[in-house]
Amino acid sequence: MDMVDPFGRTISYLRVSVTDRCDFRCVYCMAEDMTFLPKKDLLSLEELDRLCAVFIEKGVRKLRLTGGEPLVRKNIMHLIRELSRHLKSGALDELTLTTNGSQLSRFATELADCGVRRINVSLDTLDADKFHAITRWGHLDKVLAGIDAAQAAGIRVKLNAVALKGFNDVEIPEMLRWAHGRGMDFTVIETMPMGEIDEDRTDQYLPLSLLRAQLEQQFTLTDIPYKTGGPARYVEIAETGGKLGFITPMTHNFCESCNRVRLTCTGTLYMCLGQDDAADLRAPLRASEGNDLVASAIDEAIGRKPKGHDFIIDRRTNRPSVSRHMSVTGG
């Protein structure tokens, strides 16, 4: 039984934020002194497992764990191991995660053992000093060691970088060559107006059309129809033989093919990253041992999935389009 929204889109992709906590404080994502959710508001690992199972029964084929940083959630490998049963049964095509890479050295082998075949690692610079500055607390060598560990365990790695004007725009050609030289795809993302942070986003915003024009001065880019189930549009780079993805929520709205919904660690379902409309699944989940209540709450929510988002970086008020932090909704 598939979930189909009002615009005829089949919802086959669930992103689950397993924690709002992170061991980094990236300047475009979080304030330094973030207040995190109280533990009692969080779904337990068992509740997350139960909810995911309901979504899989309803036709979700791809599950991505995000955060915050998913690998800092206590006992997260227990949840991943439980979820891997859906890969074995064939109910799920892919179980994957987005991570900052800081914990990969510890967990890569076990992740591979649980059937995780590929992961996304968020990495905005290969300069150790700049890396420490943008993450506030992160260390580049730990992340690079984590990427090594993932590749050694047979996990394919895709790098994601947020394009930030005056910070890493000049570095992107070098990052591209580095990633492709190691067999990793690379995706650049426009900065999104989500959550109150300590910086001014209007200064950081770089339209990817501009970045693409800059890259075309030294690379040959060919559009290709490659899809991984997410919103990236890909080009092939003749000089490196690798793929480069562009995620452009600001300049090109990709909502017409949106196949995903997002579940937060408190059991709130967001039908769109860029809208505040949401459904509470925690109450129906906790109200009964069976899953009928939560299943009908999901159906009702999918019936309200909007056609698209309206991200703008508002230069007049300098307020984010969406007030919640990306770390709550899960990337």
262 in a known ligand binding site = yes
Residue 68 counted as an annotated binding residue: yes
322 is an annotated ligand-binding site residue: no
User: Is 102 annotated as contributing to ligand binding?
Assistant: no
> Would you give the distance in Å from CA 226 to the centre of its chain?
19
324 is in an annotated binding site: no
Q: Confirm or deny that 315 is annotated as ligand binding.
A: no
- Is 98 marked within a binding site? yes
Q: CB–CB of 309/270 below 8 Å?
A: no
Our measurement of the distance from residue 3's CA atom to the centroid of its chain's CA atoms, rounded to an integer in Å, reads 21
Is 109 annotated as ligand-binding?
no
Distance CA 52, CA 117 (A): 19
Per the annotation, does 125 bind a ligand? no
Q: Is 270 annotated as a binding residue?
A: no
The answer on whether 122 is annotated among ligand-binding residues is yes
CA distance 60 to 71: 22
Q: How would DSSP label each residue in 225-273?
A: ----SSS-EEEEETTT--EEEEE-TTTS--GGG--EEEE-TTSEEES-T
Q: Does the annotation list 28 as a binding residue?
A: yes
Cα–Cα distance measured from residue 22 to residue 25, given in angstroms and rounded to the nearest whole number = 7
Alpha carbon 194 to its chain's center: 14
255 annotated to bind ligand: yes
Q: Is 194 annotated as a binding residue?
A: no
- 29 appears as a binding residue in the annotation: yes
Tell me the binding residues for S-adenosyl-L-methionine.
28, 68, 122, 192
Residues placed in the known binding site for GTP: 15, 64, 98, 158, 260-262
Binding residue positions: 15, 22, 26, 28-29, 64, 68, 98, 122, 158, 192, 255, 258, 260-262, 272
Pick out the residues of the known binding site for [4Fe-4S] cluster.
22, 26, 29, 255, 258, 272
